[in-house]
Amino acid sequence: MTASLSLSRLTNVLRSRLSLVHEIPGIYKPNITRKKEEIMELIREKAEIASKSELARRMRVLKGFYTVEMAPPSLQEMEKLRADIALAKEFIKTNCFKFITVRQAWLLFLVCLEIVLWFFLGETIGKFHIVGYAV
């Protein structure tokens, strides 16, 4: 009889402890969830404040310029480029450059100079040195 009593007592103790283990997540879960919700709300508030800042406004403007300027050329732009190249070839073939004015020649020279300087400025920015590459 003592063995069966001890066995029943042991099973009762185990059941009470197991029920306690099952109750623990119910006790602590709301606290963890509440903390998580508080942290998420704090993050939302900070993100809203950051999105209204001057830096965020400038970044939105910069992104707008970036998406427009850095986009690959469209088909219409490529067609226009082909037409311009064909016009330049025809201009050189027919020797029309002999009849341009000094003002027009100066303007063409300045445009070509600007394009060349863009190239050299891009090279300087790309290699991070004014003279030579860092090897």
Band (32; pLDDT cuts 50, 70, 90): low
d(CA 103, CA 109) in angstroms, rounded, equals 10
Band (49; pLDDT cuts 50, 70, 90): confident
Are the C-beta atoms of residues 53 and 45 closer than 8 Å to each other? no
d(CA 56, CA 129) in angstroms, rounded, equals 32
Alpha helices in the chain (DSSP H): 2-51, 54-69, 75-93, 102-127
d(CA 92, CA 106) in angstroms, rounded, equals 17
Lowest mean per-residue pLDDT among 59-63, 96-100, 130-134? 130-134
Amino acid 25: pLDDT = 53
pTM of the model: 0.41
| Per-residue pLDDT reduced to its tens digit, 53-80 | 888 888 888 888 888 888 888 999 999 9
Q: Kindly tell me the number of DSSP H helices and DSSP E strands found in the chain.
A: 4, 0
Task: Assess whether pLDDT exceeds 90 at residue 107.
Answer: yes
Look up residue 67 and give its amino acid: T
Q: Which two tokens stand for residue 23?
A: 């109750």
18-22, 30-34, 85-89, 124-128: which is most confident: 85-89
